[in-house]
Amino acid sequence: MSSQWRSSKRRATGALLAASAAVLAVACSVDEGARTAEGALTEQAEQEAKKPPQVNMTQAINDLAKTPYQGWNTYFGLSSQFNEQTIKEAADAIVRRGLKDVGYEYIWIDGGWWNGDRDTAGNIVINPTQWPNGMKAVADYIHSLGLKAGIYTDVGINGCGGKNQGSYGHYQQDFDQFAAWGYDAVKVDFCGGKLMDLDPPVAFGQVRDAILNNSSHRPMLFNICNPFVPETGATPGRAAYDSWKFGPTTGNSWRTDTDIGFPRDVKFSELLRNFDHNAAHPEAAGPGHWNDPDYLCPEIGMNAAESQAQFSMWAVVAAPLIIGSDIRNISDASVEMLKNREVIAIDQDPMGVQGTAISTVGDAQVYTKPLSNGDYAVALFNRGPKAQVISTTARQVGLPNARGYALRDVWKHAYTESAGKISANVPGHSAVLFRVSKASGAENPPSVVMSPLAITTPSQAVLPLVVPGSTFTVSTSFTNNGRHTVSDAKLTVSVPTGWKASPVGSTSARRLRTGDTLNGKWNITVPAGTVPGPNDVKTAAAYAWDADDCDDETVTITDTSVVQVPPTPPANTTALSHHPWLDGTSAYLVPRVDREVAGGGPLVMLGTRYPEGIGTNGPSVIDFYVGGACSKLTGVVGIDDSVKFDPQGGTSIFQVFGDGTKLYDSGLITRTTPKPMSVDLGSAKVLSLVVTDGGDHSYNDRANWANLQITCAGPQPTVPAGPWPHYVSLADASATATSANDGNPAGDAIDGNVNTIWHSRWSPAQDPLPISFTLDLKSPRTISGLTYLPRVDGTINGTITSYQVEVSTDGSTFAAAAPAGTWAQDALLKSVQIAPISGRYIRLTAKAGAYGFASASEIGVATIP
């Protein structure tokens, strides 16, 4: 769908549903690693567990999609920017990258293929520049690869892309034309239908009849796409939430919510929203007719763990598996994730049951799906940002009593054996997916769980904050859930180079029987001068187990937790928006520095332009570390004038928190009531700027924190006198790069202005990676670290995700200053800690970057004076 229409469909993402009303929550345990008993089910939960799986017996409209269909669609990865060559390249990629071999067969052309032209007879006329050989030739090419072709239209006169791009008044004519061209599937949208106030069951029923009666007698899969929800003006009974009522007898699938995101912008919060609403009516799904929560979107805003969680949960709920990313360019790792045959087998199970939640406790959910061979798929889903142990039992799942149970982790491709508990340490925004059965005669390692680190620090944002020169405490536990006793269990902690970890008490145990737990605790010291950024703290549990009639086998499991060294607190009076934040979220796109969130224009409220600030869209949270050194925050809060394109929405409440305590509340702010603020910060270490909804959902809530000025103490002492790193002045330094686009020179990454960027060349041609950026400090220095601030203008192009840092004394011969590494694809400050080394030149090489580019807002160098 076009961004114009998609904007009209945007709605609240902050209030996520905990579960559908149709989903029964039963007791599960969310461990912190302590020993827990299996627990007794309530009588009601036991009765629910004994119920046979619901299998929908609705007669499908055709013989297609007996299992959820698989394929690829243009929308999220390409928007409307594609042509004949693009589609052929995508089809080739599906085959070349092995996706066809695991069932992805539909190549689906979404909105943007047609501009609404018709000839005098009413037939669709296409753009010969976009499709030089015609639409039939495209379908023929797709078929030549053993794939199927899909196409798109709207139920109304207009379409989501613009005027006259729908099929109203031409249903039979258009579907006859699609069939004659050779298309095997049709997606039909509802943008024009909403404008005309059509009744979805009636309109989509007429479309169904036209498809089934096409003059070529061609079987065509029918995807119903009504993405409108009440917040976007859908009238009662006509929202996406109501499609389940008519969908099973009208189409092969139907959208259950609004779009899961924007082109090249899908967030985990939107995944949760769509997943929850999709859960409302599992009874409607079955062979030939499926609930559709929208597309799989790796590398379109979500990280690898979030994308894997989406794939896992889509499989459990028997959703169609349509890839929305640009399949030509996503990483091999994402492709391999999408090709996981064990996950696909759960989605494609021929019984066709949509999995349901048997437990929801806070952010922890347990979903189960009965499979045709008697196994159960069990998903332990962590909706929250923090790792946690999530547990259920075989009895709660519905499995029969047995001596033991085999847990097949379909992502690790490995078995463990449990005495009855199904449990795992699940990272934030992740899912662990098991295929569970009664244990066979084969001996498998015992099912064990090591809890995530409990980290005790004075301050926390999304991550625990550890200040250079400080000591903090961590603890973990290790529990044996297997039938076999484990022996010689030992817990260890690994910390970054230069950090120190000291155990507190014993961290080993000679024997752990079923249900026994070993606890471990350590004090960790962060060296003074540590550069800001995330740091891994790794835990390991080594143990042996005695298989029946076998020698002891030794196993080691590991886990990684992350702590964050914050940037040096701001000093004096400065623009807070130009200080690196700890983290930042926005319901729409991402927060932008000195720009409004949607189009990236200047911050303007009631005609007044503000040169500095942050543009975001509620719900939003932006955290800064101020270290107790700042006394006052001033600024102007309000709604940006860019909301005027639509009278709907545009209300927010602005709040400031210090260490979790509310320091300021603006009250209701509308588009006509910008408001100055002045906030006393007291001793706050973490400052949180929060935007909440004003009562009419988050649509069009383009919120501005304008002219943010923070008043702080003077500069912190430099290393070695103080804990914070010392940054060399780059005023006299020079920068060069192996690639730079006109207008984005290397020097823009060291000019102290976060709104200017260095960017590798994209015009007239793109330079390939790797691309290097070199700083000449003009004299030898003892270099201890490098910081990298990605662009903060709301665009990810060029964000470096794989790097190498090298140092040289002469600018000719370079040596690695630290091991090569990776960074997350976000706008947060990154760093590389370097064991002190003398050098005049420091080189950052981008080995991988968003969309094949390299860019930087600011690069800094830490030194020991």
Residues 411 and 284 in one domain: no
Residues 117 and 237 in one domain: yes
| Beta-bridge partners for 381 | 365, 431
Which tens digits make up the pLDDT trace of 538-556?
A: 999 999 987 655 567 889 9
CATH for 647: 2.60.120.1060
pLDDT of residue 308: 98
Output 19 or 803, whichever has higher pLDDT. 803
C-alpha span between 465 and 461 (Å, rounded): 7
Residues 324 and 434 in one domain: no
Tell me if 593 is assigned to some domain.
yes
State both tokens at 541: 């549990």
Which tens digits make up the pLDDT trace of 419-474?
A: 999 999 999 999 999 999 998 766 889 999 999 999 999 999 999 999 999 999 99
Tell me if 43 is assigned to some domain.
no
DSSP output for 317-355: TT--EEE-S-TTTS-HHHHHHHT-HHHHHHHT-TT-PPP
CATH for 501: 2.60.40.10
Residues 451 and 593 in one domain: no
Coil/strand/helix, residue 544:
strand
Region 319-330: what's the mean pLDDT? Answer: 96
pLDDT of residue 608: 97
Q: Which of 678, 712, 746 is the last residue of a domain?
A: 712
Q: Which of 543, 565, 587 is the last residue of a domain?
A: 565
| Beta-bridge partners for 105 | none
Reply yes or no on whether the pLDDT at 30 is more than 80: no
Residues involved in catalysis = 189, 259
pLDDT of residue 57: 59
Residues 672 and 706 in one domain: yes
Tell me if 676 is assigned to some domain.
yes
Reply yes or no on whether the pLDDT at 650 is more than 80: yes
Residues 175 and 218 in one domain: yes
pLDDT of residue 722: 67
| Beta-bridge partners for 151 | 186
What's the mean pLDDT when you consider all of the chain? Answer: 91
Sign of CA dihedral 53, 57, 58, 63: positive
Residue 720, preceding bond cis, omega within 30 degrees? yes
pLDDT of residue 40: 34
pLDDT of residue 646: 82
Region 245-271: what's the mean pLDDT? Answer: 94
Residues 758 and 671 in one domain: no
Burial class (CB within 10 angstroms; exposed 0-12, middle 13-18, buried 19+) of 42: exposed
Residue 770, preceding bond cis, omega within 30 degrees? yes
Residues 770 and 836 in one domain: yes
Q: Which of 536, 565, 594 is the last residue of a domain?
A: 565
| Least confident window among 151-165, 538-552, 580-594, 794-808 | 538-552
Residues 77 and 181 in one domain: yes
Residues 705 and 740 in one domain: no
Region 811-822: what's the mean pLDDT? Answer: 96
Tell me if 405 is assigned to some domain.
yes
pLDDT of residue 141: 98
Consecutive H or E run containing 616: strand 613-617
What is the percent of the chain where pLDDT is above 90? 82
Which tens digits make up the pLDDT trace of 40-61?
A: 333 433 444 444 455 565 789 9
CATH for 743: 2.60.120.260
Tell me if 40 is assigned to some domain.
no
C-alpha span between 420 and 364 (Å, rounded): 19
Which tens digits make up the pLDDT trace of 694-743?
A: 877 777 899 999 999 999 987 655 434 468 999 999 999 999 999 999 99
Tell me if 18 is assigned to some domain.
no
Tell me if 24 is assigned to some domain.
no
Reply yes or no on whether the pLDDT at 3 is more than 80: no
Number of H helices, E strands in the chain: 14, 50
C-alpha span between 426 and 398 (Å, rounded): 22
Q: What's the distance, Cα to Cα, between the start and end of the chain in Å? A: 56
Which tens digits make up the pLDDT trace of 288-312?
A: 999 999 999 999 889 999 999 999 9
Reply yes or no on whether the pLDDT at 613 is more than 90: yes
Residues 332 and 391 in one domain: no
Reply yes or no on whether the pLDDT at 27 is more than 60: no
Region 3-22: what's the mean pLDDT? Answer: 34
Host domain of residue 784? 726-863
Residues 324 and 397 in one domain: no
Tell me if 57 is assigned to some domain.
no
Region 589-598: what's the mean pLDDT? Answer: 91
pLDDT of residue 265: 85
Question: Kindly report the CA angle at 28 between 25 and 29, in degrees rounded to 5?
Answer: 150
Number of compact structural domains in the chain:
4
Region 496-512: what's the mean pLDDT? Answer: 96
Model confidence at 228, in pLDDT bands (50, 70, 90)?
A: very high
